[in-house]
Amino acid sequence: MNKSELVEVTAKEAGISKAAAEKALSATIAAVVKTVSKGDSVTLVGFGTFKSAKRAARTGKNPKTGATIKIAATTVPKFSAGAGFKAAVAGKKAAKKK
């Protein structure tokens, strides 16, 4: 599913126009990107958590030549799926909290 298909499904499920759904989705994505790029996390209960993670410098190999290269340290986005999302993908019902 791509963004336009997601907008279409969202508009249909929410009973709103495609333009409104696209605007809401774009605003949501922009808010997540802005928050994670500042180093904070975004948690959507039942869906998952978006956060940034530091990746240490390391050495690698150029697959074409086999030469060793240095890969610089960097910060990358990371997504951790929530329990409800994991259960849905696995085809199981989410466990209820006591």
Residue 92 has a pLDDT of 77
Same domain, 23 and 55: no
Instruction: Look at residue 98 and tell me if it is in a domain.
Output: no
| Strand partners for 60 | 69
Dist. CA 17–CA 11, nearest whole Å: 6
Dist. CA 94–CA 84, nearest whole Å: 5
Residue 42 has a pLDDT of 97
Dist. CA 18–CA 22, nearest whole Å: 6
Instruction: Look at residue 57 and tell me if it is in a domain.
Output: yes
pLDDT along the chain (98 residues), means of 10: 96 96 96 96 95 96 94 96 92 65
pTM for this entry: 0.78
Dist. CA 6–CA 1, nearest whole Å: 7
Domains: count for the chain: 2
Give the structural domain span for 78.
Answer: 41-92
Query: Are the CB atoms for 76 and 52 separated by under 8 Å?
Result: yes
**In this structure, what CATH number is given to the domain that contains residue 60?**
4.10.520.10
